[in-house]
Amino acid sequence: DAAVATARRWFDGLGLTVEELPVRTRIQAASAVTAARAASGALFYLCGGDPGVVPKVLAGTSTWSAIVEAWRGGAALAGSSAGAMALAEWTLIRGRVPGDADRQPRPALGLVRGVAVIPHFETFGHRWLPSTQGPSGLAGATLLGIDERSAAIWVDGRWLALGAGGVTIMRAGEEVRFEPGQEIDGLPAPRQSDATASPGT
Query: Is 20 inside any structural domain?
Result: yes
State the residue range of the domain holding 24. Answer: 2-178
Q: Any idea what the CATH number is for the domain that residue 127 is in?
A: 3.40.50.880
Residues 171-179: what's their mean pLDDT? 94
Number of domains in the chain: 1
Average pLDDT, the chain: 90
Query: Is 102 inside any structural domain?
Result: yes
Predicted structure pTM score: 0.89
Label residues 138-172 b or e (16+ Cβ within 10 Å = b): beebbbbbbbbebbbeeeeeebbbbbebbbbbbbe
Residues 63-77: what's their mean pLDDT? 97
The answer to whether residue 196 scores a pLDDT higher than 70 is no
pLDDT digits (tens, 9 = 90+) for 104-117: 999 999 999 999 99
pLDDT digits (tens, 9 = 90+) for 84-135: 999 999 999 987 665 677 889 999 999 999 999 999 999 999 999 988 887 6
pLDDT range class, residue 12, cuts 50, 70, 90: very high
- Nearest CA to 95 out of 87, 107, 103 is that of 103
